Structure 1
């Protein structure tokens, strides 16, 4: 077999794999085994989830670069803490509230547990690993909380913010997500949110706006006469690097 033929074969295999990930229907028509589809779909969830999780580094860099030096440590701790809380809350109740037995407005208030027993027994009809799906969904929950973190930077203390993250990631986000991705009342009306512009960014954005209105401007930002007091960021190159990492993360 010539090198050219080998390259053609590899390219065809790669194209088939990518199309299998993008379109299960194509994969079935192309005769891709169910086990291969299961592996590729699960890998797609894990890889895309890892890219989105990398956005947490971007949020941390962007925020810490734009706040004053005295607040950098708190910002970094907030970003680590919110991701940890998001994972715990989405595992405990969030995932089931969003996806299990959704009855129009809300899902099941129960503890989530991964069930890949069918795949372990050789039945790959589920299409992907339940654990990989949970991970993919969880990083979006944390992203919504990160949007709020940047908005209320230097406006709120650490513990009140983390308490809010518990509510957002365990209750608010899963319930609103169940209305669309969970097959709830918005999905029944034909509403579609392909990439999370409403579920992730709108929910995070509205929560951030509410926080900004309640908390008001940063202390010392405005004088009694309404004059603006500049508050230069601590590290603009770091903020720029964070921006590019977030830019890359959108492809997840």
Structure 2
């Protein structure tokens, strides 16, 4: 009280009023700054959503380019419906499964998230009090839905050219809506792996390895394409378009800036710029590793290995893009590029027919990237990373096997020999992806 009286004694009323106004203006500036930061964060996250979305076009282009022309429409059909199924089922229950809130660390379900989406959208938190001012509830949901759809797309290319369309779409429905969100909740939803200190910044394991395990189970149960392995030799089937595959890889590289950059979960300038640098150098290292690996192991300038090397490097740095240095990112990407070549050759020797190298890119390099984070990443433990890889792998294999096996015993997985030989486009879709018109 004495301080107040002293203040009023020494200063006239005008000074007091001026001080009050200045205080109010400062408070207003602070509120405006907070709102501006929140808007910037949310806009960046929405841009990243668009970048991750464009990755589906990248996957479609890569898969269509690397597979035979007679199956192009089938590939594009799958890659169009995969994100549709992924986002709808993620809205239906996947988001609530993956982010259950308070739960035992294994399986949970957030009725609040579910009801907000379907029953009371007006209750969604769109203030800067949500996610520490990084983004709104709706931005959160849509960004995570894009990741879910990406996971299923990995399987599409591996099982191409001989799997029934209905069986693939049914697999996608259950894989994206149940297997992926439950495994994802163990880390990103605050589950037991998160409590153990497992590190997976943007999904080398939770997205890429999980999808890669699903792809591996799929090609194992399906068997190779007709004529792929004869007399102990592997036959290469000519892809429909190398330029299209190249465009697809560059679209995926572009989308990865949103995939990793958005995983910062804000527009923090320092962290976002570091993540984009490590992401880029990881891709560059992968391209170099794929080139040299192809030259040494396959004795040729294999462009396909360079393209897969880019993707391998991106997958490799995704687990620890925020806690590794640019030099480490280059090295991790380089090793991933070499590994993808070794993996492609090794898988082929076991007569596991992966049309586009999806298992090698996403599973092999996803495992490497997760373990490399335990070696190089600040604050990460190698043993914890290894444990996370094994647990997520076991769950993904079990879930994928159950879904594929049930489909195999009911509707069947594989198309007829006639359809496979003549092409899925003509028999399942009635049109071809490439049509040459000859004038009379």
Distance in 1 (CA, whole Å) between partners of 2:124 and 2:176 is 29
Tell whether 2:247 aligns with 1:244: no
Aligned residue in 1 for 2:235:
229
Distance in 2 (CA, whole Å) between partners of 1:195 and 1:109 is 22
| 1:29-44 → structure 2 map (5 Å cutoff) | 33-44=33-44
Aligned residue in 2 for 1:188:
195
Tell whether 2:177 aligns with 1:170: yes
Distance in 1 (CA, whole Å) between partners of 2:123 and 2:41 is 17
Q: CA deviation at 1:67?
A: 1.0
Distance in 1 (CA, whole Å) between partners of 2:248 and 2:124 is 41
Which of 112, 124, 127 is the equivalent residue of 2:128? Answer: 124
Distance in 2 (CA, whole Å) between partners of 1:243 and 1:234 is 15
Residue-by-residue CA offset, 1:203-230 (whole Å, 9 max, x unaligned)? 111111111211121222122x223333
Query: 3-state SS of the aligned residue for 2:229?
Result: coil
Q: Note closer, same or farther for the CA distance 1:119–1:143 as it changes in structure 2 (3 Å cut).
A: closer
| 1:1-252 → structure 2 map (5 Å cutoff) | 33-101=33-101, 102-108=103-109, 110=111, 111=114, 113-114=116-117, 117=123, 123-126=127-130, 127=133, 128-223=135-230, 225-252=231-258
Question: For structure 1, which segment, 208-217 or 35-44, has the greater mean C-alpha deviation from structure 2 after superposition?
Answer: 35-44
TM-score by length of 2: 0.48
Q: CA deviation at 1:91?
A: 0.2
Residue-by-residue CA offset, 1:2-61 (whole Å, 9 max, x unaligned)? xxxxxxxxxxxxxxxxxxxxxxxxxxxx98733223322221221111111111111111
Query: 3-state SS of the aligned residue for 1:45?
Result: helix
Report the number of matched residues.
220
Q: Note closer, same or farther for the CA distance 1:145–1:112 as it changes in structure 2 (3 Å cut).
A: farther
Displaced runs of 4+ in structure 1, greater than 6 A?
A: none
Query: Is the CA contact (8 Å cut-off) linking 1:116 and 1:130 kept in structure 2?
Result: no
TM-score by length of 1: 0.81
Structure 2 stretches lacking a partner, 5+ long: 1-29, 259-440
Q: Pick the structure with greater CA Rg.
A: 2
Query: Is the CA contact (8 Å cut-off) linking 1:92 and 1:112 kept in structure 2?
Result: no
Query: 3-state SS of the aligned residue for 2:215?
Result: helix
> C-alpha root-mean-square deviation of aligned residues, in Å?
1.9
Distance in 2 (CA, whole Å) between partners of 1:112 and 1:68 is 45
Q: CA deviation at 1:62?
A: 0.7
Query: Is the CA contact (8 Å cut-off) linking 2:63 and 2:245 kept in structure 1?
Result: yes
Query: 3-state SS of the aligned residue for 1:233?
Result: coil
Distance in 2 (CA, whole Å) between partners of 1:139 and 1:112 is 20
Q: CA deviation at 1:100?
A: 2.0
Distance in 1 (CA, whole Å) between partners of 2:71 and 2:175 is 23
Query: 3-state SS of the aligned residue for 2:224?
Result: coil
Query: 3-state SS of the aligned residue for 2:233?
Result: coil
Distance in 2 (CA, whole Å) between partners of 1:107 and 1:119 is 21
Q: Note closer, same or farther for the CA distance 1:118–1:74 as it changes in structure 2 (3 Å cut).
A: closer
Structure with higher RCO (Cα < 8 A, 6+ apart): 1
Query: Is the CA contact (8 Å cut-off) linking 1:42 and 1:133 kept in structure 2?
Result: no
Q: Note closer, same or farther for the CA distance 1:33–1:159 as it changes in structure 2 (3 Å cut).
A: same
Structure 1 stretches lacking a partner, 5+ long: 1-29
Distance in 2 (CA, whole Å) between partners of 1:142 and 1:118 is 23
Q: CA deviation at 1:113?
A: 2.7
